[in-house]
Amino acid sequence: MFCPKCGDAMTATRDGTTLECVRGNMELSVAMRAGLVEIFVERRRSAKRVGHRFGGEWFCPGCGGPMIVDDGVQCPRCSEHLDELVYQLVELHPHRVRRRLLVVEERFEIAGRGLVLMPGVPAGEATRSELSVELLRPDGTTAVVRAHVEITFAVPLPKERWATVRLEGVTKADLPIGTELWLDEG
Ligand SMILES: [Zn+2]
Ligand SMILES: [Zn+2]
């Protein structure tokens, strides 16, 4: 089964009682899992239509593809609806939102200040100057580190302004090229 909020394949929880989306850190309630399996995996019944306009972005638990969201939430391939379960998914199933900030192409050691990364990020995305980011290295290992986002000033001002990302307490050996920086957004 696929996560209705991001489309990733879901996996059994450690105790085996239900399923979870690892990316979203979201565990399905036992009732939610049963409902989704009945409708999208076993195809034993269809979801009740609720009859109002829906919003948001949804993925089909049966095939993982994006669903069509209007006066229902429907998979164009399986043609099943999610409608009756949307409310519970919104209210009782928070899904962590993560965004990939950048992929490291080069890094420079600055004495006493950590590593400055290439590329930077567009200045418009630099909403906070200090962030907690997760490193995902090419070998699959992870680490959480502090990042400083610093807008660099240049004269004349370039059309598109970039911010520099600097990591504290990290050495080049900790940060192979190709490492991804991920940011939690909720
Ligand atoms: Zn998910
Ligand atoms: Zn589908």
- pLDDT tens for each residue of 149-185: 988 766 666 677 788 999 998 999 999 999 999 988 7
Q: Final residue of a domain: which of 63, 92, 121?
A: 92
176, part of any domain:
yes
Distance CA(64)–CA(7), nearest Å, equals 5
Cβ–Cβ < 8 Å for 123, 163: yes
For the cut 80, the answer to whether the pLDDT of residue 124 exceeds it is no
Residue 147 — pLDDT band, cuts 50, 70, 90? very high
Ligand nearest to the CA of 63: 2
For the cut 80, the answer to whether the pLDDT of residue 126 exceeds it is no
Domain holding 119, by residue range, is: 98-184
Co-location of 148 and 80 in the same domain: no
State the pLDDT at residue 151: 81
State the pLDDT at residue 158: 65
Co-location of 49 and 86 in the same domain: yes
Co-location of 109 and 178 in the same domain: yes
Q: What is the mean pLDDT of residues 95-99?
A: 86
% residues pLDDT > 90 (the chain): 71
Cβ–Cβ < 8 Å for 142, 182: no
6, part of any domain:
no
30, part of any domain:
yes
Ligand 1 centroid distance, CA of 21 (Å): 5
Co-location of 72 and 87 in the same domain: yes
Residue 122 — pLDDT band, cuts 50, 70, 90? confident
Rg of the chain's alpha carbons, rounded to an integer?
A: 21
Burial of 143 (0-12, 13-18, 19+ CB in 10 A): middle
Ligand 2 centroid distance, CA of 163 (Å): 40
Range of 37-41, 47-51, 97-101, 151-155 with top mean pLDDT: 37-41
Structural domain tally of the chain? 2
pTM of the predicted structure, to 2 decimals = 0.66
113, part of any domain:
yes
For the cut 90, the answer to whether the pLDDT of residue 129 exceeds it is no
Ligand 1 centroid distance, CA of 160 (Å): 33
pLDDT per residue over 50-82, tens digit each? 888 899 999 999 999 999 999 999 999 999 999
Ligand 1 centroid distance, CA of 86 (Å): 14
Q: Final residue of a domain: which of 60, 92, 124?
A: 92
Cβ–Cβ < 8 Å for 163, 116: no
Ligand 1 centroid distance, CA of 58 (Å): 10
Q: What is the mean pLDDT of residues 101-109?
A: 95
For the cut 80, the answer to whether the pLDDT of residue 31 exceeds it is yes
42, part of any domain:
yes
Ligand 1 centroid distance, CA of 12 (Å): 13
Q: Final residue of a domain: which of 69, 92, 115?
A: 92
Ligand nearest to the CA of 2: 1
For the cut 90, the answer to whether the pLDDT of residue 186 exceeds it is no
